[in-house]
Amino acid sequence: MKYYTYYPGCAMETTGKPIKSSIDAVTKVLDMELRELPDWTCCGCPGESINELAAVSMATRNLALAEKTGLDIAVPCSCCYRNLLNAHVTYTEDPRIREQVKQALAVVNLEYHGTVRIRNLVDIFVNDIGLDVIASKVQTKLSGLKVASYYGCHETRPYGPDDFEFPVWQDQIVEKLGAEAVFYPLKAQCCGGAQLFSQIDMIHKLIYKIIDNVEGHGAQCISTTLCPLCFSNLDANQGLIKSRSGARFHMPIIALTQLMGVAFGLKPKELGLNKNISPALDVLKPYLKVRV
């Protein structure tokens, strides 16, 4: 059994619900225990653009709480992951910011000593649990399913640890599940989640580029990163966008842990698959043990 402090992030409670339930189900199979950080608050990522110091201070509050647990902190949401890691790096490397953040945290009697390891959940799957263990838990091989892995930005940029522009870890997991990993160049392109409400035209164009690219390379579905913003942006918005053929997109969008859960023989409801807006169950039907 491996133990981690778990930081789900705000969106995991709402639009990320399908991902959250699948993470809970899949981590059980993989003998991991995710202990939710008590009294966690927003990581501060949404405010970074107009006040970096406030964002770093908010993230450091969570890190100071996590430090007390003595465990690595596991973060599925890419934006939270990057912002928490950014706060840690800035805090430990920039003495000027460190002093300012210390002053801000002193107001609430907290102090951060810079000892937390911030880990993306995909990183944990590949490097702590191991691809072979994942393969050993597979009950239904996803043979014949052509899967395009979508990484988004912050899972690997700017801190890695997978490659910045051509990451491979999700593809490696997908292959261990017995599916065929489809290569396509835009796998780490931005979906525009940051401008979700404000610039709809921009979002639609960015989503078009990604899904068009996936279709062009012959994939049947997209297996996304565990970031609820990327997942929900692709899942909910694609129905408004016309594809090359003139019809609207209906690309199945499946979170990585949902796909893993199907291969592990878990029930669709446990994995939140009944809540996906895109026709996720259509491509997964042949691999499900239960009839839907």
Q: Which residues bind another protein (CB under 8 A)?
A: 10-11, 13-15, 17-18, 39-42, 44, 46-54, 56-58, 61, 90, 97, 100, 103-105, 107-108, 110, 153-154, 157-158, 164-165, 189-190, 192-195, 197-200, 202, 206, 232, 236-237, 239-240, 275, 277
CB of 132 to another protein, least distance (A): 30
Choice between 103 and 143, CB closer to another protein: 103
Longest dimension (CA), the chain: 59
Closer residue to another protein, CB minimum distance, 32 or 59: 59
Specify whether the CB–CB gap between 72 and 4 falls below 8 A. yes
Q: Taking a C-beta distance cutoff of 8 angstroms, is the pair 145, 71 a contact? A: no
Name the residue nearer to another protein (CB basis): 261 or 272: 272
- CB of 22 within 8 A of CB of 272? yes
Query: Half-sphere exposure of 77 toward its Cβ, with a 13 Å CA cutoff?
Result: 26
The sign one gets for the Cα dihedral 80, 85, 86, 87 is positive
CB of 30 to another protein, least distance (A): 25
Which own/partner contact pairs does 194-199 have at CB distance under 8 Å and 24+ positions apart? 196/229, 196/233
Q: In angstroms, give the least distance from the CB of 5 to another protein.
A: 15
Least Å distance, CB 41 to another protein, is: 4
Residue 49 or 136: the one with the smaller Cβ distance to another protein is 49
CA distances from 239 to 11, 225, 247, 255, 289 (A): 21, 20, 10, 18, 28
Nearest approach in angstroms of CB 34 to another protein is 18
**Toward another protein, which CB reaches closer, 58 or 148?**
58
